Copies of this chain bind each other. A is one copy, B any other.
């Protein structure tokens, strides 16, 4: 038995083992449990702390009260060659997501591209996980999801859209891939929450208060306010972030028949499901392109290398060290964590200990 008061650093394997066991505890089939744990581990191992083990408590809570189906039967609702709509049978997004991404990749191999709009699903972890799956097959992969409403439309004073992320990746040859993964809000809810916990102010442009006025007090966003879309305000072209969030919302949820906009199912135990539903679950959207349908894939990958080298050689702004390539922050975190392990926040650790106690699953830091 490990010392419970130890430093909160976990090895990759230990966290994966724990997470897998937690999903299995709710009768998620072993293969699916390993898959779901892999999606969460992707975040923790690549420094995306908001989307990994920190969310296990919520998955746990929702499975416990039966709000998520541990053993979904995923079905195609409608299909036409390169496109399809899939019903996720209210399964874990962490299981429905990878299976649908696989289907999109298969279509890409057959038809040059593949597109899946997915309804009746749940939170799917980090959007970047899915294009990384495609990279392993030398495909260009894309994923989007809608999420619980937390963002105001441009000029709006209330939460109507999720932080709706978009991710896409392009393989390099000798260079690493260009991996794009970002939310369409200026910042994540988590970033404002952390500032609030620390009692710090946030920059103007991140959020508004319950009346729709700009605020630098994070508690005012949390108490009935909203996040702002990428671009924030008129000077920053906040209408563009609103456009991006709208695109993601429509492709993931209006197209599939999921709950869109303010009706997106909250990913939280303490929030009751909304009374009005306009569809089933939340929505994802997955895509893949067969590079060979456009251009010899080796030629493409070598040119991506040249693109990367060119961008890296940009003269940096005064005070900045260098220009990064999308995906660098994740790679830097991975290199560090694979050696040093994954630092788990105190509050998150507390939640894991409760889960361990309730389920009897051993929480080892280095096993």
Contacts and interface: CB of A to CB of B under 8 A. Distances in A.
Q: In the complex this chain forms, how many copies of it are found?
A: 2
A89 interface: no
Interface in A81-111: 81-85, 110-111
B81 A255 contact: no
Contact of A293 (B83, B155, B213, B250): B83
Interface residues of A, number: 87
A304 B306 CA distance: 42
Given A110-B81, A255-B291, A236 B186 contact: yes
Contact of A317 (B115, B155, B292, B300): B155
Given A81-B82, A294-B256, A315-B158, A180 B247 contact: yes
A180 B239 CA distance: 10
Given A113-B83, A180-B246, A278-B306, A205 B235 contact: yes
Given A83-B113, A187-B237, A239-B182, A314 B158 contact: yes
Contacts of A231: 186, 230-231, 236
A244 B244 CA distance: 10
A324 to B, nearest CB: 7
A176 interface: no
A54 interface: no
Contact of A156 (B160, B206, B291, B317): B317
Contacts of A354: none
Interface string A248-274: 011000111100111000000000000
A23 interface: no
A189 B89 CA distance: 48
Interface of A: 78-85, 110-113, 115, 117, 140, 152-158, 160, 168, 170, 178, 180, 182-184, 186-187, 203, 205-206, 208, 211-213, 230-232, 235-237, 239-244, 246-247, 249-250, 254-257, 260-262, 278, 289-295, 300, 303-304, 306-307, 310-311, 314-318, 320, 322-324, 326
17 contacts: A79-B293, A80-B112, A81-B111, A82-B112, A83-B294, A113-B113, A117-B294, A153-B314, A156-B315, A160-B311, A178-B250, A187-B237, A203-B235, A236-B236, A246-B311, A260-B303, A262-B310
